[in-house]
Amino acid sequence: MSIGAIARGIGRHARHAPKIAGVLQQRTLKSISRAVGVGLHSGQRVELTLRPAPADTGIVFRRVDLPEPAEIRMTAESVTDTRLASTVSTGGAKVQTVEHLMSACAGLGIDNLYIDITADEVPILDGSASSFVFLLQSAGIALQKAPRRFIRVTRKVEVREGEGANEKWASLEPYHGYKLSFEIDFDHRVVNSTGQRVEFDLGTGSYSRDIARARTFGFTKEVEYMRSKGLALGGGLDNAIVMDDTKVLNEGGLRYDDEFVKHKILDAMGDLYIIGKPLLAAYTAFRSGHALNNKLLRELLSHSDAYEVVTFEDEKRAPRGFGEVARAW
């Protein structure tokens, strides 16, 4: 199924603050950026408009298609469903599949953003975060007259589920920076032939190059079952890696040798950024997913001695990777 994505900076530049000497500042967009696509599960056409937002706004989805437009601010508590994707809601309004766009915001260091959306699901575009990275960078990134606020993890926090072959877990530990380690365990010939563990450090790697292009993936049997249940109606070979029992069906193959586990890193970055501020922590996970990632955030926030909110009045003291605006591709 083809997806039409329209991405352009409109050029109506937001007024943005000059650089504050030495301070690590918040970031928003310089101008508006738009895209059109379909929802992965609904198959519904959706328009997405990314707009600059004032300092300390955070990232806010706005359901502009509703009779009374609703705003959904990103917090750990805003996540109300984690089956197949991360869904956020307030009152009767919801937005599904927010993790890829949130991942792009985390990777590029966007603090404040209004996301106007005309349906209840973020468009899947190419199944990765690369289209969202392009949209954000097309709009340009503006510094704002307010310090970036980070959640710094001060002691280890961990959540676990299942036992034996069904065990899965995720943890956050103190780290002066942001790095993620993920290990997957799929009993599938194709997945087993690729890298199943990866570590990404925002201070030494490039999100746009190393993570953003990793696509969501699924198996033909799963896709057929989900479609029979009215799900994955917008999914296809141009926005997901699809496998049968023995091979990848996509004509171009994989974008990375370890694309499967890199997509799990992509998802985790998006799920964790829903907390509303960038983390200073080391995230480690085994077979985690949207539900466990959100459970980890809630566990962290339930222990006031496990984290603190910090700023950097001297950006030279900030961890590597946070002090500069992310480069283009």
* Residues forming the active site: 290
CA distance 81 to 88: 7
